[in-house]
């Protein structure tokens, strides 16, 4: 979960720094203000502090002297691997892992910046309006990230007989850890109300995301126009849209698999598995 949230914060940073041209002092103020409300969290708190730290060697802001290559110990990769084994979609977390991987290709990215053309990384949106949209988009994506992580724990507990009590886990995390956040109070309440809740989006927090989806769409759209990569925000929106879709085009995938590999398919009008000789008339 922390991978996803950290990547979401990094994307808001990119949008404000490159897109809006905010200074380190302005970034500090924005994150400090955000940390006062419903997105209060340990990660938001330390983010606001990072932008005012002065480098003892140069006298400049330390953040601007740090190389843009993110390291990882492997916890994000393990989460993605486990999710794939359990067939639980966690695309925001997956996107965060991939973003760290891509950051390591510094030399190639520098060559790409010279050879691959695209939009100038500048946003044309009204600054004050966009900052409000960005805040609400982040909150919605933050909820979606927690929803994915808790859904993974739910499936892991069921399949491996862990007997996890998600209400207690939320309380422990809120007590103090990397993902400590005010949101965990509401997550705990959601599992107090329904211990068998399969996904947080099916509870009251889903309504919070629904109310902010316009802001998430606006931010993703603006980022795409400006050529600023926001993979975690995009993945969060796609997950939300996929989860609220009663129909998905997976029937075509089933048909393709049966066509080239005789993997069979299921029908909407009959139980069982079926196979078709597709090349016959």
Q: Where are the domains of the chain?
A: 2-243, 250-281
Quote the pLDDT of residue 268. Answer: 97
Residue 281: is its pLDDT beyond 70?
no
Q: How far apart (Å, rounded) are the C-alpha atoms in residues 275 and 264? A: 5
Quote the pLDDT of residue 56. Answer: 96
> What pTM was estimated for this model as a whole?
0.96
Find all residues with CB under 8 Å of 103, minimum gap 6, and list them.
68, 69, 70
Q: How far apart (Å, rounded) are the C-alpha atoms in residues 185 and 242? A: 26
**Do 265 and 257 touch, CB atoms closer than 8 A?**
yes
At 145-180, the pLDDT tens digits run 999 999 999 999 999 999 999 999 999 999 889 999
What CATH number does domain 2-243 carry, 1.10.760.10, 2.60.120.10, 1.10.1040.10, 1.20.58.100? 1.10.1040.10
Query: What is the band of 259 on the pLDDT scale with cuts at 50, 70, 90?
Result: very high
At 64-90, the pLDDT tens digits run 999 999 888 888 899 999 999 999 999
For the stretch 221-227, contacts whose Cβ atoms lie closer than 8 Å and that sit 24 or more positions apart, written own/partner, are: 222/15, 222/19, 222/123, 222/125, 222/130, 223/11, 223/15, 223/19, 225/119, 225/124, 226/19, 226/119, 226/120, 226/121, 226/122, 226/123, 226/124, 227/118, 227/119, 227/120, 227/121
What CATH number does domain 250-281 carry, 3.10.50.40, 1.10.10.410, 1.20.5.320, 1.10.40.60? 1.20.5.320
CA atoms within 13 A on the CB side of 64: 15
Would you call 181 helix, strand, or coil by DSSP?
Answer: strand
Beta-bridged to residue 242, according to DSSP, are none
Residue count of the chain, please give it: 281
Find all residues with CB under 8 Å of 214, minimum gap 6, and list them.
none
At 102-122, the pLDDT tens digits run 999 999 999 999 999 999 999
């Amino acid at each position: 979960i922390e991978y996803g949230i950290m990547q979401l914060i990094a994307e808001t940073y990119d949008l404000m720094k490159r897109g809006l041209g905010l200074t380190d002092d302005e970034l500090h103020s924005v994150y400090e203000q955000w940390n006062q409300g419903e997105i209060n969290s340990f990660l938001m708190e330390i983010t606001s502090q990072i932008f005012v730290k002065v480098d003892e060697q140069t006298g400049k802001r330390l953040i601007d002297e740090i190389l843009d290559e993110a390291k990882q110990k492997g916890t994000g990769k393990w989460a993605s691997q486990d999710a794939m084994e359990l067939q639980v979609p966690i695309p925001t977390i997956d996107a965060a892992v991939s973003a760290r991987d891509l950051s390591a290709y510094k030399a190639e990215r520098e060559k790409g910046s010279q050879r691959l053309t695209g939009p100038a990384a500048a946003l044309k949106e009204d600054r004050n309006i966009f900052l409000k949209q960005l805040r609400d988009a982040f909150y919605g994506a933050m909820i979606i990230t927690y929803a994915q992580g808790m859904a993974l724990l739910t499936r892991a507990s069921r399949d491996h007989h862990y007997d996890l009590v998600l209400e207690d886990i939320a309380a422990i995390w809120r007590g103090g850890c990397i993902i400590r956040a005010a949101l965990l109070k509401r997550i705990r309440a959601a599992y107090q109300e329904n211990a068998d809740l399969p996904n947080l989006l099916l509870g009251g927090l889903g309504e919070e995301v629904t109310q902010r989806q316009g802001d998430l769409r606006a931010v993703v759209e603006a980022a795409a126009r400006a050529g600023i990569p926001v993979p975690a925000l995009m993945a969060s929106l796609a997950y939300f849209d996929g989860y609220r879709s009663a129909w998905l085009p997976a029937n075509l995938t089933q048909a393709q698999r049966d066509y080239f590999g005789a993997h069979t398919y299921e029908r909407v009008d009959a139980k069982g598995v079926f196979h078709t000789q597709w090349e016959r008339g």
